[in-house]
Every structure is written in structure tokens, then in C-alpha cells.
């Protein structure tokens, strides 16, 4: 298949053969050993052998198998173990932990690769007629549990892998819109738009391995969301195949025609239907771009600087302010091979020594757009940053960050080899609540990790995705688990940490999720988040569009 380069290895992130580049980061391993309270030669725990994983036998009736093959072509219906295993889970910690341990109690009974809208309509019809259920699947990078079969669903489960639907159907250069199929991966989108001088400008951390449809289904956020918005802000129109018919929305710049159907469909996580086309707002490739890294004496200083720049109207296109702990990891993880040491080390030392900064906080910031206007924007923002004692490490450091920004999931997989729980958690809140929420969440994580594992672990955080009214708060955690735990016990330790953090987010005014989605991970909190009546009304929409509940029964609405 043409998109095989975007296919994950069965046990982790990214394709076979690509792993975290530890060699060019000489400071990282010693930092890990110290932070992780590892001994001298920590034990490695590789994944189980593929051959040893026993998938539950496929429930797909022969008659449905034949009908599906007739509908989409024989080669596009897969019932082999490898395809089924790759489509069992997303790529959350819980997912990868189960895969590495070979825990698979439920798998899709077939994986179908539709070639276009009409194929999807046919598969939807067959799914309904044969009493099966259907899970749309993009790149499989989801970490909230949005693509997994429901444990208690007795029906045959078909996973619909959308990667063959990867075309740009129409581009309207004048209107700056592009009609795209949902199975198109991040790099494919940019490659299709670039010859027209256009860009979508949506770069989530999963960019290389995730699809437009997956982004839309989960309300994904790209690094430059400050100026281009989250994916929901980029959707102008959609075609969605539901079990009861096709919904089409007109690709208008704006409208006043009742509730916004696009925003009812965006974020529906495959529970209402299958997206087969999206008209996306795109923009010219920026004339000018400036990535750089700055250091603040403390996270609080950086916070004040960011908040003021937003308030004063100087919104950078990207901003990512790391707390002191995450800044420590960034420095430890810096590569030596690209001259970044020279760029980073000297000023850092100078800061630490001369200015008596304690533990600095790094801000990665970018400005992009028309040259003169963007320079003026940068000037204004930098003036505010400097007022708050920012030290500018320059564009080299920013470019280095940009180059390695998609690497973190590989580090997660690397760390899992050493018996750890490693996860990312995220929320969002208004500016006035960001520091209180940060303090409460960090305290919760510190306590729960210690209580559950007996280790201190690593807890790093950053603020990113700025809005006029607030921002996203993002955590990366890593801790050894209790020694001698079974895989099931490890997953329960993970779940305790995840539960405590999520509870704190929701209790303290944070979003249940800012861009990872709901899935089964966050579903228990959904009624507290959207109010009981709010969730009930979504369930009614679900009942109306999908009366037999065939769409993604393990997902958003259960």
C-alpha cells in the first residue's frame, strides 16, 4: 500500500526501523539513569514475540466477508492477524503496554480499506445489514482510546482503515480552500498543497503518522494553533456518511443557518459516521518564518511574559513554555551533532553563572506571516519577553527544536523498554486559572506517582496553544513502576495516575481534554464536563443518526 511508510510497528510508534536517536544525545542517558532512580545497568524488557500473541478468532461471517470483498475489492479486506493486531488499539501508554505484553482480548474481525466515498457508503450499508459494527481508523495515533472495539460488543467488528482515501480532490487557490479525503496523512497534505503555494499549517506532534480524518474526528491541535486555530477552525465543509444517510455541509466562510452542523460532526470520534470529504481552509505558505528559543529565570516569569504578549495583541504563531523540569529534560536531550551544544551551552552557562538564574524555563516561540508585519509582531512580543528577563538563545536553538519536535513518542517507546510508565496528559484553562491548575496538577501527579509506584518519577510540563482567553497545559510524565509488577498491575498503576490527574483537571476548571479527545480514557468524566443534559442531547443525536449503534460503540458515547 502506498501509505505503508505511515504504518506503525505493531508494538509501538512509527514504522519498523525508526527508533529514538539516543546516540546523538550523549547527555540523555545519564540524566535518565539519575532522574529515573535506575541502577547501573537497568534491565531491558523487550516486547513479546509477535508469534506468541493469541488473537481472538475472527467473528466475521463468511457471507459478510464475501460481500465486503465484492464491495471494495478482495485485496482491501484483510482478516490476517497482523492487520487485525495493528488495528486493535491506538498508541496510548495503555495501548502500547498491552501490545508489548501481548494482551489482546478483543480485535477487529476484519480491516477494510475503502477507496472512496462510494466504498464507504457500501461498507456502511453492509455493516448495518449484517449486524456488525464499524470503527473508522486513520493513522492509529490516538491516545485516548477512540479506535478500540468495545469489550462487550458481541457483533463482528469491522475497522475501516481510511489510508487509501488520500487524495486532494479540489484546490481553490483564490478562495484558499482544499477538498481533501480523510485518509490523507500530514506530510501528504503539505506535499499536495505546496505546488499551489498553500499550506494547511496543522502540525500536531503526530503529524507524520496521523490523518486529516483523525484530526477532525478528535479536535486535534497543531503547534501553530495560535494563529491558524485548531482543526475545527479549519473545517469549512464536510461530507459524512452516517448509518441513516449522508450529511453534507456547504463549504462557506460563515453562516447563520441554525446550529453549526460542522461543529456537531467535528469531534464526534467516529460515533456518528465516517468522514469522506472535508473542505479545509488553507493559507499561503508564509513569506517569513522565525523560530527561536528563549530562557526565562523561572516558569512564572515566562508565564507572565506570554500572558502579557497575548493581552497586548502580540500573539506568536507558536509558543511553548516549558517549566523548569521540562527545560531540564530539553537540555539533557539536546543533540551534539548539529552545533546546538555551542548555541545552547554557552549562553545557558552564562545565564546560570552571571545572572544567577536558578533553574531556567525555556520558551520556544515562532512568528510567521508576511515579512514586515511579522517582524513588527516579533519586535513587539520580544520587547515584552525581554521586559520579563528573557534571554534570547536565537534562531538556531529554535530550528533545532523544530527539527526534533516529532521525536517524543519514540522516547516514550524507548523508556517503556526499561520498565516505566510514560504518558502525556493535557488540559486547557483560562489565563487566571493556569498557574493554580498547574500547581494543583503537579502536586497531584507528584503525590500519586509516589504513592502508586514508590518512585519520584519525572514530571515535566509546558504551556502551549495560546488563546486570547487561556492556553493548553501539557504534562509529560515518566516513572518506573513497582518492581515485579505483572503487565496488568502496571496498567492499573498507570490507570491510577491517569485517573488522579484527570480528576484534578476537571475539578480545578481545566478541560477534560484540549486536543487528545475523549475515547474510553476520558469518557467517565464526560457528564461532569458537558453537563448531564448536554451529554444526553449528544446521545440523542447518536440515536438519530445511528439508531442501531453500529458506529464505534467503544468510543465517545459508549
CA–CA separation, 222 vs 208, rounded Å? 12
Given the complex with a copy of itself, which of 11 and 505 has the nearer CB atom?
505
Please give the backbone phi and psi of residue 289, each rounded to the nearest 5 degrees, phi first: -145, 135
CA–CA separation, 76 vs 113, rounded Å? 5
Angstrom CA distances, 199 to 188, 190, 431, stand at 11, 6, 30
User: Which one of 357, 474, 481, 494 is the catalytic residue?
Assistant: 474
Q: CB within 8 A of 288, min separation 6: which ones?
A: 367, 368, 369, 370, 371, 374, 375
For the question of residue 474 being annotated catalytic, the response is: yes
Q: Provide the CA 155 distance to its chain's centre, in angstroms.
A: 29
Please give the backbone phi and psi of residue 158, each rounded to the nearest 5 degrees, phi first: -105, 125
514 in Cβ contact with 428 (< 8 Å):
yes
Given the complex with a copy of itself, which of 209 and 367 has the nearer CB atom?
367
Residue 339 burial (10 A CB sphere; 0-12, 13-18, 19+): exposed
Given the complex with a copy of itself, which of 320 and 516 has the nearer CB atom?
516
CB of 287 to a copy of itself, least distance (A): 8
Half-sphere exposure in the Cβ direction for 108 (13 Å, CA): 30
Given the complex with a copy of itself, which of 103 and 285 has the nearer CB atom?
285
CB of 245 to a copy of itself, least distance (A): 4
Grid coordinates given for 189: 497534505
The residue with cell 486513520 is: 138
Given the complex with a copy of itself, which of 31 and 467 has the nearer CB atom?
467
Given the complex with a copy of itself, which of 15 and 370 has the nearer CB atom?
370
Grid coordinates given for 202: 496543522
Grid coordinates given for 362: 525555556
415 in Cβ contact with 19 (< 8 Å):
no
CB of 312 to a copy of itself, least distance (A): 6
Nearest CA among 125, 161, 137 for reference residue 241: 125
CB of 476 to a copy of itself, least distance (A): 18
Which residues are tagged catalytic? 474
Amino acid at each position: 500500500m502506498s501509505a505503508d511508510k505511515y504504518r506503525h510497528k505493531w508494538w509501538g510508534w512509527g514504522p519498523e526501523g525508526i527508533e529514538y536517536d539516543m546516540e546523538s544525545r550523549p547527555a540523555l542517558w545519564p540524566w535518565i539513569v539519575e532522574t529515573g532512580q535506575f541502577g547501573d545497568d537497568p534491565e531491558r524488557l523487550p516486547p513479546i514475540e509477535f508469534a506468541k500473541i493469541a488473537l481472538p478468532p475472527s467473528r466475521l461471517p463468511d457471507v459478510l466477508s464475501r460481500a465486503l470483498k465484492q464491495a471494495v475489492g478482495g485485496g482491501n479486506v484483510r482478516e490476517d492477524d497482523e492487520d487485525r493486531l495493528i488495528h486493535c488499539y491506538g498508541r496510548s501508554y495503555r495501548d502500547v503496554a498491552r501490545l508489548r505484553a501481548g494482551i489482546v482480548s478483543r480485535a477487529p474481525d476484519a480491516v477494510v480499506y475503502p477507496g472512496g466515498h462510494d466504498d464507504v457508503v457500501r461498507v456502511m450499508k453492509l455493516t448495518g445489514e449484517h449486524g456488525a459494527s464499524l470503527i473508522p481508523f486513520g493513522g492509529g495515533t490516538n491516545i485516548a482510546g477512540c479506535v478500540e472495539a468495545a469489550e462487550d460488543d458481541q457483533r463482528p467488528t469491522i475497522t475501516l482503515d481510511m489510508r487509501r482515501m488520500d487524495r486532494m480532490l479540489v484546490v481553490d487557490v483564490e478562495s484558499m480552500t482544499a477538498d481533501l479525503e480523510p485518509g490523507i496523512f500530514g506530510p501528504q497534505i503539505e506535499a499536495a498543497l505546496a505546488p499551489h503555494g498553500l499550506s494547511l499549517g496543522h502540525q500536531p506532534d503526530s503529524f507524520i503518522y496521523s490523518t486529516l480524518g483523525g484530526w477532525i474526528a478528535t479536535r486535534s491541535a497543531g503547534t501553530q494553533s495560535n494563529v491558524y486555530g485548531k482543526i475545527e477552525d479549519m473545517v469549512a465543509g464536510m461530507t459524512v456518511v452516517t448509518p441513516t444517510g449522508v450529511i453534507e455541509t456547504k463549504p462557506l466562510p460563515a453562516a447563520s443557518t441554525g446550529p453549526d452542523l460542522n461543529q456537531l460532526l467535528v469531534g464526534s470520534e467516529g460515533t456518528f459516521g465516517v468522514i469522506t470529504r472535508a473542505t479545509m481552509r488553507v493559507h499561503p505558505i508564509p513569506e517569513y518564518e522565525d523560530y527561536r528559543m528563549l530562557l526565562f529565570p523561572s516558569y512564572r516569569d515566562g508565564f507572565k511574559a506570554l500572558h502579557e504578549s497575548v493581552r497586548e495583541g502580540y500573539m506568536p504563531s507558536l509558543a511553548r513554555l516549558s517549566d523548569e523540569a521540562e527545560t531540564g529534560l530539553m537540555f539533557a536531550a539536546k543533540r551534539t551533532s548539529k552545533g546546538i551544544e555551542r548555541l545552547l551551552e554557552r549562553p545557558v552557562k552564562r545565564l546560570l553563572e552571571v545572572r544567577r538564574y536558578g533553574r531556567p524555563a525555556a520558551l520556544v516561540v515562532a512568528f510567521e506571516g508576511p515579512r514586515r508585519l511579522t517582524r513588527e509582531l516579533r519586535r513587539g512580543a520580544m520587547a515584552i519577553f525581554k521586559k520579563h528577563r528573557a534571554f534570547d538563545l536565537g534562531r538556531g536553538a529554535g530550528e533545532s527544536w523544530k527539527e526534533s519536535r516529532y521525536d517524543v513518542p519514540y522516547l516514550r517507546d524507548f523508556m517503556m523498554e526499561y520498565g516505566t510508565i510514560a504518558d502525556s496528559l493535557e488540559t486547557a484553562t483560562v489565563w487566571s486559572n493556569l498557574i493554580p491548575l498547574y500547581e494543583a496538577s503537579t502536586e497531584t501527579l507528584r503525590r500519586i506517582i509516589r504513592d502508586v509506584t514508590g518512585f519520584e518519577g519525572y514530571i515535566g510540563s509546558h504551556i502551549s496553544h495560546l488563546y486570547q482567553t487561556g492556553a493548553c497545559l501539557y504534562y509529560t510524565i515518566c516513572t518506573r513502576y513497582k518492581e515485579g509488577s505483572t503487565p496488568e498491575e502496571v496498567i492499573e498503576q498507570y490507570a491510577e495516575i491517569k485517573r488522579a490527574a484527570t480528576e484534578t483537571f476537571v475539578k480545578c476548571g481545566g478541560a477534560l481534554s484540549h486536543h487528545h479527545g475523549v475515547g474510553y480514557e476520558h469518557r467517565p468524566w464526560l457528564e461532569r464536563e458537558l453537563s448531564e443534559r448536554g451529554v444526553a442531547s449528544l446521545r440523542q443525536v447518536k440515536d438519530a443518526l445511528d439508531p442501531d449503534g453500529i458506529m464505534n460503540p467503544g468510543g465517545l458515547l459508549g
